[in-house]
Amino acid sequence: MSQVNHPRVVVIGGGTGMPVLLRGLKELPIHLTALVTVADDGGSTGRLREEMEIPAPGDIRNVIAALSDAEPMLLELFQHRFAVGNGLSGHSMGNLLLAAMTSVTGNFNTGIKEISRVLNVKGKIYPISNENMALHAQMVDGTIISGESNIPLSNKQIEKVFLSPQPINPLPNAVRAIEKADLVVIAPGSLYTSILPAMIMPQMDEAIRNTKGKVVYVCNVMTQAGETTSYTASEHVQAIINHVGKGSVNSIVVHNEPIEKTVRAVYAEENAEPVVYDTDRLLEMGLQIIEGDIIDHSKPTLRHDTTKISKLLYSIIETE
């Protein structure tokens, strides 16, 4: 198959789940594009966002590291976090480089492109927007919580999330990537604070609903306290539909093996439990269910297995 005919796969998301998917997908014969959330406000990312008025670099940094074929030492340097009690304390080297390159080029997206070139990144990485933005959540009781890091801490049920200031313009390249995709993958991760902020922007939501490609959601294996407490798989999908509109998800990938007791006990301390896959409801919603043992059993915490999940996603394209 010539390079020209490779299928176009777009992954949307942020947080820790997205890089896991990307590490596996970059090994496949596809045109890969990552569209990354930039609404974080915690730690190094939050400080740089505030001080330099740039979009949040943290999730972008992790995606660059996941898609890079650079020397291990260079990547270690890129991901290095300063721990010494000085002005750099807590900052990540990669975040500082992204901030510096944005300053040099005058544009966040151009900065990402230049660093991607230096670190030999496979595929394209776009922030969902070039603009500095904040995330807010309206809770079921009507209160508004502002700031990505504050939302889960309120321990209230989330009604919806939204961005400010309005209107926020999406990156045109990000919208085009979705429109031209053969497969759009919604990554696992914090549903309301990492995944939905990348999808709810005007034009982005429209592109997701109207893309000719299949849209598949890789469902979280565990619930998350303060965000998806006691959510079933269909409730995760319903939250996406409520924010992005009908027709925004065609398929769902779920893990279909029991979670070991010892692992469940660790997560129970964080008020997290395995997501219940309510198959009947998912089928009622018209979703194609793709299931398998897709977690990495060698890790103490639950992570999707990068090779298994990428093979599963590739099989979706092949059956199209």
Residues 6+ apart with CB under 8 A from 66: 18, 19, 20, 22, 23, 26
Q: In what order do the strands lie in the sheet with 214-218?
A: 124-127, 31-36, 8-13, 183-186, 214-218, 251-255, 288-292
Contact call for residues 64 and 119 (beta carbons, < 8 A): yes
The closest alpha carbon to 194, from 11, 70, 69, 24, belongs to 11
Percent of the chain at pLDDT exceeding 70:
96
CA triplet 115, 116, 120: central angle to 5 degrees? 120
The tokens describing 247, both together, are 């027709």
Residue 236 CA to residue 243 CA, distance in Å, equals 11
pTM comes to 0.92
DSSP of 135-201? EEEEETTS-EEESTTTTGGG-S-EEEEEEESSSPPPPHHHHHHHHH-SEEEE--S-IIIIIGGGT-S
CA dihedral 301, 25, 110, 132 (to 10 degrees): -40
Which stretch of 146-150, 155-159, 241-245, 316-320 has the lowest confidence by average pLDDT?
A: 316-320
Distances (CA, A) of 126 to 39, 54, 202: 14, 14, 16
- 277-309: b or e for each residue (b if 16 or more CB lie within 10 Å)? beeebbeeeebeebebebbeeeeeebbbbbebb
Average pLDDT over the chain reads 89
Tell me the domains of the chain and their CATH numbers.
3-37+128-318 (3.40.50.10680), 41-122 (no CATH)
**Tokens 């020397």 belong to which residue?**
71
Q: Looking at residue 1, what is its pLDDT? A: 37
Is residue 211 within 8 Å of 205, Cβ to Cβ?
no
Query: Do 305 and 299 form a contact (C-beta atoms < 8 A)?
Result: no
Mean pLDDT of 74-80: 87
Helices (H), 10-92: 17-25, 43-52, 58-67, 72-79
Read off the DSSP letter of residue 245.
Answer: -
Nearest one of 219, 251, 208, 288 to 17, comparing CA atoms: 219
Confidence of residue 256 (pLDDT cuts 50, 70, 90): confident
Structure tokens at 142: 């009507």
> Which of 3-7, 15-19, 177-181, 311-315 comes out lowest in average pLDDT?
3-7
What does the block give as tokens for 63?
């995606």
pLDDT in tens, 100-124: 999 999 999 999 999 999 999 999 9
Say which amino acid occupies 80: H
